[in-house]
Amino acid sequence: MRASLHRRLSLATAALACALLPLSTSAQTAAEQTAPTTTAFERRAAQLPDVVAGNMAYDDYFAPAFRAEVPQSRFAAITGSLIAQYGRALSVESVQSADGRSGTLQLRFEKGTATVRLDVGASADERVTGLLITGFAVDGDNFHRIAADLAGLPGATGFLVAEIDGDAIRTIASANADRQYAVGSTFKLYILNELAAQIATGKRRWSDVVPLSHPSFSSVATANWPKDAPVTLQTLANWMISVSDNGAADTLLHLLGRDAIEARMRAAGHSEPSRNIPFLSTVEAFALKGNNFAVERAAFIGADDKAQRRLIDANADRLTLANVDGVSFTAGPRFIGELEWFASPRDIARLMADLRRRNSAPVMAAMAINNGVGPVAAEPWRYLGYKGGSENGVLSMSLLGQRKSDGKWLVVTASWNNPEANVETDRLVGLVTRLLALAAK
């Protein structure tokens, strides 16, 4: 739900939260043209195991621009997570660079191998300007190992890897695939599905211009935009899916109609639709979770669908962005089992299948803007669409892909809920990336 967290998730899935900074091009110097025995890329690549282990000074290895983007404390947290999951970094293998400054390498850990993109700056000190971990292959990996790793996380987890063939969903691997989980912004796929349906009937067009009518909390694309700024429906859809913009989602929800989205959710095969009725906007959910609506929250949680809808309608003029208590969300998970959007892994698979059956180029394009896992993990896939969701104690990642090898369509989806503590983005990213790698085979 929280776009800021979704954005962090998107960055983490692409780079395990490392940063890739662009390099400026410069002409080769005479010294570079003499082809030294080793290149700047090779020298810095060879030092990477020591950097990961903390045996080399951070400032000596990374350029100021990189350090500004990724402080040493953040880098240490990332490498600590990697070491905890995969053991010590041992050696560098398979170094490849066309220009001696930028390229890829394989970084061998005790339990697997990371694919790393490394960029060395053009300055004389040859400090690194970009480091991107784009994939991880675990030695001897299989679905049973990943299921065990997921089960070992604190809280509740579930996943599904399945092939989609028309209406059929064929399970390849799963655990707790029929359990309902809080899925955060993954709910926005139901809004996308209803938007595509209304466009298919001719009620709307992707090019329709509408006002940005409902600004929301923690919106990446529309933060501080003036209310009622004109935008197209396709722009709203792209923002809602690619950067999980909450203002775009709420604008579309109110435009399309809450009842219509709920009906679309049922039609897409949600196994417990009442969990999401009434289908809350992000502002409504944020407001009800906050300290300003404690009385209304208790009434909402204890009510049936009809009474919940009456409560939302009766407080429509109060459940607004101005009354969202942002401070409430700084201490950890809040009511993630009662006030959220819910789906099982199998529900998400049915939703992905429904979206694919629409054969809508704008829908598929919106889902592919941010594929969630980066270029290396996406390489075996002809198409890869993604939607993630997160808030305190909630993390969900869902992908729809078509394999290059045989053209088959698959869904990979996983959710992790912990009402007691925030969940670790990097850990689920690594596990889902492993699921995707196995699904690609």
In this predicted model, what pLDDT tens digit does every residue of 192-237 receive, in sequence order? 999 999 999 999 999 999 999 999 987 889 998 999 999 999 999 9
Between 13 and 189, name the one with better pLDDT. 189
Q: Would you say residue 24 has pLDDT above 60?
A: no
Q: Which of 138, 157, 180 lies at the terminal end of a domain, its last residue?
A: 138
- My answer on whether 78 and 172 are in the same domain is no
Query: Do 210 and 413 form a contact (C-beta atoms < 8 A)?
Result: no
Is residue 1 a part of any domain in this protein? Answer: no
Say what the pLDDT of residue 1 is.
56
Domain that holds residue 78: 8-138
Query: Do 365 and 355 form a contact (C-beta atoms < 8 A)?
Result: no
Tell me how far apart the alpha carbons of residues 425 and 194 are, in angstroms, rounded to a whole number: 29
Say what the pLDDT of residue 147 is.
97
Between 51 and 94, name the one with better pLDDT. 51
The domain that contains 368 carries what CATH number? 3.40.710.10
Say what the pLDDT of residue 37 is.
62
Q: Which of 78, 107, 138 lies at the terminal end of a domain, its last residue?
A: 138
Confidence at 261, pLDDT banded by 50, 70, 90: very high
Q: Within a 10 A sphere around the Cβ of 361, how many other Cβ atoms?
A: 9
Per the DSSP assignment, residues forming a β-bridge with 381 are: 403
- My answer on whether 159 and 215 are in the same domain is yes
Is the bond preceding residue 278 a cis peptide, omega within 30 degrees? yes
Is residue 3 a part of any domain in this protein? Answer: no
- My answer on whether 134 and 237 are in the same domain is no
Class of residue 172 by CB neighbours under 10 A (exposed 0-12, middle 13-18, buried 19+):
middle
What number of CA atoms fall less than 13 Å from residue 253's CA on the CB side? 24
Between 400 and 82, name the one with better pLDDT. 400
Say what the pLDDT of residue 327 is.
74
- My answer on whether 26 and 77 are in the same domain is yes
Tell me how far apart the alpha carbons of residues 384 and 14 are, in angstroms, rounded to a whole number: 13
**H-state helical runs in 304-423:** 305-314, 345-357, 361-368, 374-378
Q: What long-range pairs does 378-386 form, CB within 8 A, spacing at least 24?
A: 380/404, 380/405, 380/437, 380/440, 381/440, 382/407, 386/13
pTM as predicted = 0.80
Q: Torsion angle, CA of 249/360/349/147, rounded to 10 degrees?
A: -90
Say what the pLDDT of residue 3 is.
46
Per-residue pLDDT tens digits for 277-329? 999 999 999 999 999 999 999 999 999 999 999 999 999 999 999 998 877 77
Query: Do 42 and 48 form a contact (C-beta atoms < 8 A)?
Result: no
- My answer on whether 208 and 345 are in the same domain is yes
- My answer on whether 125 and 214 are in the same domain is no
Task: Report angle CA 259, 264, 270 to the nearest 5 degrees.
Answer: 110
Confidence at 15, pLDDT banded by 50, 70, 90: very low
Say what the pLDDT of residue 25 is.
30
Percent of the chain scored above 70 by pLDDT?
A: 91
Say what the pLDDT of residue 239 is.
97
3-class DSSP assignment, residue 390:
strand
Q: Which run of H or E residues covers position 162? A: strand 156-165
Tell me how far apart the alpha carbons of residues 107 and 134 are, in angstroms, rounded to a whole number: 11
Q: What is the mean pLDDT of residues 43-69?
A: 96
Q: Which of 138, 165, 192 lies at the terminal end of a domain, its last residue?
A: 138
Is residue 168 a part of any domain in this protein? Answer: yes
Per-residue pLDDT tens digits for 89-98? 999 998 999 9
- My answer on whether 267 and 377 are in the same domain is yes
Say what the pLDDT of residue 300 is.
97
Q: Would you say residue 142 has pLDDT above 50?
A: yes
Q: What is the mean pLDDT of residues 384-397?
A: 97
Q: Would you say residue 5 has pLDDT above 50?
A: no
